[in-house]
Amino acid sequence: MIRPKGNLVSISLLQMAKSNMEISAILSLGLFSLLLRIRIDVEASQHGIEYVQYQVPESQPYRTAYHFQSPMNWLNDPNGPMYHEGVYHLFYQYNPYGAVFGDSMIWAHSVSYDLINWVHLDHAIEPSDPFDINSCWSGSATILPGNKPAILYTGIDANNYQVQNLAFPKNLSDPFLRVWEKYTQNPVITPPSTVDALNFRDPTTAWQGEDGKWRVIVGARNGHEGMAILYQSEDFVNWTVHLSPFYRSDSTGIWECPDFYPVSINSTNGVDTSVHNPSVKHVMKASFQVNWHDCYVLGTYDPEKENFIPEDDFTGTNLDLRFDYGKFYASKTFFDPAKNRRILWAWVNESDSSQDDIEKGWAGLQSIPRQVWLDKSGKQLIQWPIEEIDKLRDKQVSINGKELISGSIFEVSGITASQADVEVSFELPELESAELIDPTRVDAQLLCSEENASSLGIIGPFGLLVLAAKDLAEQTAIFFRVYKAQNRYIGLMCSDQSRSSLRNELDKTTYGAFFRIDPNLKKISLRSLIDHSIVESFGEEGRIAITSRVYPLLAIDKEAYLYAFNNGTLNVGISKLNAWSMKKTQFDDEQSFSYSLE
Ligand code: DQQ
For residue range 436-445, what is the model confidence (pLDDT) as tens digits? Answer: 999 888 899 9
What does the alpha-carbon distance between residue 356 and residue 351 come to, in Å, rounded to a whole number? 10
510 Cα–ligand 1 center, Å = 25
Q: pLDDT tens digit string along 444-487? A: 999 999 998 888 999 999 999 999 999 999 999 999 999 999 89
Cβ atoms of 202 and 160 within 8 Å: the answer is no
| pLDDT reported for residue 591 | 64
Q: Are 523 and 354 in contact (CB under 8 A)?
A: no
Looking at residue 318, what is its pLDDT? 84
Nearest Cα neighbor of 63 from 74, 72, 76 is 72
Q: Which residues contact 37 (CB under 8 A, 6 or more apart)?
A: 24, 25, 26, 57
Give the residue whose CA is nearest to atom 11 of ligand 1.
Answer: 330
Comparing CA positions, the residue from 388, 401, 395, 433 lying closest to residue 416 is 395
Query: What does the DSSP 8-state code read for residue 415?
Result: S
Domains and CATH numbers, the chain: 6-57 (no CATH), 73-385 (2.115.10.20), 394-582 (2.60.120.560)
**Torsion angles phi and psi, residue 505, rounded to 5:** 55, 35
- Spatial contact of 454 and 468, defined as CB atoms under 8 Å apart: no
Contacts of 66 (CB under 8 A, 6+ apart): 116, 368, 389, 392, 419, 531, 582, 583, 584, 585
What residue type is 300 in one-letter code?
A: T
Whether 76 is in the pocket of ligand 1, judged by its Cβ within 6 Å, is yes
The least confident of 43-52, 114-123, 372-381, 403-412 is: 43-52
154 lines ligand 1 (CB under 6 A): yes
How many angstroms does the Cα of residue 358 sit away from the middle of ligand 1?
20
Of 44-53, 442-451, 560-569, the least confident: 44-53
The three-state secondary structure class of 205 is coil
Cβ atoms of 269 and 373 within 8 Å: the answer is yes
Q: What does the pLDDT look like over 490-544, one tens digit per residue?
A: 999 999 999 999 999 999 999 999 999 999 999 999 999 999 999 999 999 999 9
Contact 154, 167 (CB under 8 A): no
Do 359 and 29 meet the contact criterion of CB atoms below 8 Å apart? yes
Q: Find out whether the peptide bond into 187 is cis, omega within 30 degrees of 0.
A: yes
* Choice from 105, 157, 257 to test ligand 1 binding pocket (greatest atom count within 8 A of CB): 257
For residue 269, pLDDT beyond 90: yes
Q: What separation in Å is there between the alpha carbon of 244 and the centre of ligand 1?
A: 24
Angstrom distances, CA of residue 12 to CA of 39, 354, 405: 11, 20, 58
Q: Is 77 in the pocket of ligand 1 (CB under 6 A)?
A: yes
pLDDT at 243: 76
The band of 114, judged by pLDDT with boundaries at 50, 70 and 90, is very high
Determine the Cα–Cα distance for residues 286 and 263; give it in Å rounded to an integer: 16
41, 77, 122, 507: which one is catalytic? 77
Kindly report which listed range (160-164, 352-356, 452-456, 576-580) carries the lowest average pLDDT score: 452-456
Closest CA to 13 of 35, 40, 46, 44: 40
Q: What digits encode the pLDDT tens for the residues 190-236?
A: 999 999 999 999 999 999 999 999 999 999 999 999 999 999 999 99
Q: How far apart, in whole angstroms, are the C-alpha atoms of residue 167 and residue 179?
A: 10
Q: pTM for this structure?
A: 0.90
Find all residues with CB under 8 Å of 32, minimum gap 6, and list them: 60, 61
Is 77 catalytic? The answer is: yes
